[in-house]
Amino acid sequence: MRGGSIAVVGGSIAGCATALAASRAGADRVTVFERADAELRDRGVGIALQSDRYEELREAGYVAPEMPWAPLTRRVWSVRDGDAPHGRGFGQQPFPFRAYNWGSLWSELRSRVPEGVDYRSGAVVTAVEPADDGVALRLADGHQERFDLVIGADGYRSVVREAMFPGISPEYAGYIGWRGASEDVEGLPSDGLDAHNIVFPGGHCMIYRIPDGTGGHRLNWVLYTTPPQTDGLHPDLRTPTSLPPGRLNSELTDWLRALVADHFPPFWADKVLGTPAGTTFIQPIYDLVVPHYTSGRMALVGDAASVARPHVGAGSVKALQDATALEAAWIAGDSWKDVLERYDAGRGAVGSAMVALARRMGSTQVENTPDWSAMHQPEFDAWWQDQNSGSDRSSGFGGHSLKVR
């Protein structure tokens, strides 16, 4: 299937990978609509790619060794133990991941999008309407354009998904992620090669080192917990939203900082509390399973399709794999209908399996936490295996393999 005019709504990691996929598959014209005016490279939070999944994506040509990354080899789970600086480690597991800075990874992908792609920053798509033999996009400035195929890479608040499946949107999981990135990377155990999970009743915080985009490192952290149902502390998060730096109310910030001071080992409390409060932000946790990844001449990739809670460590992997699978379906198909049917068949079940696994992990790691203080390695191993008991080889922690069907 060659030729055609393609619109990619959303120009972040998923959007850049999708634009690359469409170009490589033979599209005549590719246009990317990114609503943000500012450079996305300024988003400095951390993401990670499991090493085997990275190798598959490298072979497919979507990531490369020169993209800045930091190695991770082990994950250590720790609980506060009096004044012991690092607490008591009760569980260790192999953690073969590559840590990236979201902004620098986006920059690398953006630089790989072919020059012939029309990448439009500050272009807000307000409506997506099926048309004869194609799809029409309506923009905030009133302008309308028609395309043979529209691909939604516009995240969990996708306007393309709403056009495909009206009323289907992510559901709030009932808890939040509080995120930050500190410049203080001094004294990290194991020279920064470990990822650390600091646990407490009702949640945990994952901490690991990432590139800072300028040759150094930052300490990326995200704390998952359920905010109390108290006036001023719990904003209405049922409608998909986010609370960026500068929009956190002081009561919620104070409550989160007190939680860290009370439950974190001193070393890790200092790292988290030393992050300027004005640079931290809230990421409400949602999930979603869509009926299909395609409808008519529309398709979804990344979080515009299935939204899995971040505990599986595979959000960016899934977005890049979606693009890879779309390219493969495109090359194999002989019509738009054939291409989209192949893509939907290859990705729908994978997305659903990831959401199910992430829900199990969210339940036991945040919503119904065990007595961490009583755990040692044998108990930890059994607890971890129980979370993964419902998954199969095609989908699991770190993402499924593209080679398993």
The per-residue pLDDT for 213 is: 81
Region of 399 (left: φ > 0; alpha: ψ -120 to 50; beta: rest) is left
Residue where the block lists tokens 């082990």: 74
Q: Are 15 and 32 in contact (CB under 8 A)?
A: yes
Chain position carrying tokens 């990290």: 188
Integer Cα distance of 65 and 68 in angstroms: 8
What CATH class does 5-42+104-170+288-371 carry? alpha beta
User: How far is the C-alpha of 275 from the C-alpha of 184, rounded, in Å?
Assistant: 8
DSSP 386: H
**pTM listed for this prediction:** 0.93
Cα dist. 245→106, 137, 221, 283, 318 in Å?
Answer: 20, 31, 15, 11, 27
CATH, domain 70-102+171-286, list 3.30.9.60, 3.40.228.10, 3.40.50.300, 3.30.70.380: 3.30.9.60
Q: What is the rounded CA–CA span in Å between residue 276 and residue 170?
A: 30
- Cα(108)–Cα(99) distance, integer angstroms: 14
Rounded CA gap, 208 and 77, in Å?
A: 12
pLDDT value for 392: 44
Nearest to 1 by CA among 401, 236, 330: 330
Q: Using an 8 Å Cβ cutoff, are 337 and 275 in contact?
A: no
Walk along the chain (405 residues) in steps of 10 and give the mean pLDDT of each run.
92 96 96 84 80 95 94 98 98 96 91 95 96 93 96 96 95 92 94 97 97 91 90 64 62 90 98 89 91 97 95 94 96 95 95 93 97 97 85 65 69
Which helix or strand (DSSP H or E) is residue 298 part of? strand 298-300
Calpha distance 207→219 (Å, rounded): 7
Q: Whole-angstrom Cα distance, residue 20 to residue 115?
A: 10
CA distance 218 to 248: 22
Domains of the chain: which residue ranges?
5-42+104-170+288-371, 70-102+171-286
Q: Report the C-alpha gap between 72 and 48 in whole angstroms.
A: 9
Token representation of residue 267: 């070393």
The contacts found for 83-89 with CB under 8 angstroms, 24 or more apart, are 83/266, 84/265, 85/265, 85/266, 85/267, 86/189, 86/265, 86/267, 86/268, 87/198, 87/264, 87/265, 87/268
| pLDDT score recorded for residue 405 | 45
Contacts of 142 (CB under 8 A, 6+ apart): none
- The 8-class DSSP code of residue 307 comes to B
Whose CA is closest to 207, among 252, 142, 274, 129? 274
Q: Is there a contact between 279 and 245 (Cβ–Cβ < 8 Å)?
A: yes
The two structure tokens encoding residue 370: 């065990």
Q: CA–CA separation, 354 vs 362, rounded Å?
A: 12
